[in-house]
Amino acid sequence: MHNNIGFKVLLIGGLAVLLMLPLTLIHSLITERSQYRYQVENEIADSWSGRQTLIGPVLVLPYQVRRSEQVWNEQDKVYTTRMIDGWYNQYVIPASLVIDIQTRTEDRSRGIYSVPVYTADIVLQGQFSGFALNRHRQEMSEVITAGRPYLVLSVTDLRGLGSSPDIDWQHEPVSFAPGTQISGLDSGLHVKLPDINDPENFSADFNITLQLRGSQALQVAALGDQTITEMQSSWPHPRFFGHFLPGTRDISAAGFSARWDVSAFASNALDKLLSCVDGDCHGLLSSAFGVDFIQPVDVYTQSERAVKYGILFIVLTFAAFFLIELMAGLRLHIVHYGLVGCALAMFYLLLLSLSEHVAFIWAYLIANLCCCALLGCYLSTVMRSAVRGWAYALSVSLLYWMLYAILRSEDFALLMGCVLLFAALAVIMLLTRKVDWHRIGQRLSPAGKSTVTG
């Protein structure tokens, strides 16, 4: 007779495995909705402007070098000297650079999705100091002439510039033109500057003001010998990222402020810039730092994490259901288990659909109340006791709130999940340690039969 219990346990286990199918479908739906949200964000970014990276300013001085070269004269069988002229660019980063960024954020919506976008008022102040035309010192005999210098400022998405930036060079206004004139930095601006006659004793102050629109993130590549960046924003949920984190920061419900202080010794800015000029900008871009204007709660990530615990919760509730059946002497059909399992799976679908329209905590509360109320009404009749039915529904509700605590505690999610499993196993073992499974198996079987009907 005791085989009846084993057979029913196998049926319940098979049903639990079968219920993984709707959980898998719900997980796929979450992925699909998340991808659609990502598509909407990109569409809004395309119509506004996307993630912005500010690089510069960089001073570029073209100069012509004449060098000698020994050439073998086959006819006279002697070496002759030939003079070769070539043009090179000297790239100079500021001796000091202060960047002040003030951002205003707003939400742009499409359907049920909204994306934070920003408008940044940026001021770059600093100074260039003397430099030597020494990149080709070993191979040149003399510098013939220097060309007209220009200043380069790189911006990822030029659509974000509402108007041409203003620049004062040596307290004189000059005008930017499109293009960077640097092969590695494709998107940006440049401005022609007055001639530099004495590079080694050269010194110039600059002040650049621009307004830059973007979405999702704003970052800066520090290109000064000493770069100080200060950023203030009304966005209360920043995520600082990049090669350097802010030395000081202050985050509140009214917004945030942050300050970075980066030296060229830490950033190796000039070498990375020269590598970018030669076509490899990975090092320069990877050394950038900035802020992500993230949404405070990603409902799809939360829902996805909840579904991952779905099979665990179905197994736990089925185990409790089975124990109630044994301890109370009930005979429940496998269909009862199936309907309870469907109600448990429906919780995750309700959670996903509601969280797209209301705050996640309210979606969780409503889904919990709906599913547990359904279980209470149904099981009060199935178990022939309102106390048993509603007690079971209440225990399921408490189990889901334990899940919510796990979802909120990202750092301790694994620990809390393991504790919950251990506690459930311990309760089951303690409650059944004196159970005579042979006698219960006989009690669950109809007279004269050796198998269960459910």
Three-state SS sequence of 69-103:
EEEEECCCCEEEEEEEEEEEEEEECCCEEEEEEEE
The reported pLDDT for the residue numbered 4 is 65
Position with higher pLDDT, 342 vs 6: 342
Instruction: Tell me the whole-structure pTM to 2 decimals.
Output: 0.68
Above 70 in pLDDT, residue 11? yes
User: What does the pLDDT read at residue 35?
Assistant: 82
The band of 116, judged by pLDDT with boundaries at 50, 70 and 90, is confident
The CA angle 157-161-166, to the nearest 5 degrees, is: 130
Q: What is the mean pLDDT of residues 31-53?
A: 81
Q: 179-203 burial string, b = 16+ CB within 10 Å, else e?
A: ebebebbeebbbbebeebeebeebe
Q: In whole angstroms, give the CA distance from residue 148 to residue 397.
A: 74
- pLDDT > 50? residue 66: yes
Residue 449 predicted with pLDDT over 60: no
Residue 299 banded pLDDT, cuts 50, 70, 90: confident
452: pLDDT strictly greater than 50: no
pLDDT(282) > 50: yes
Question: What is the rounded average pLDDT of the residues 328-346?
Answer: 80
pLDDT score recorded for residue 102: 93
Question: What does the pLDDT average to over 423-448?
Answer: 63
**144-149 average pLDDT score:** 80
Query: According to the model, what pLDDT value does residue 5 have?
Result: 67
Q: Mean of the per-residue pLDDT values for the chain?
A: 80
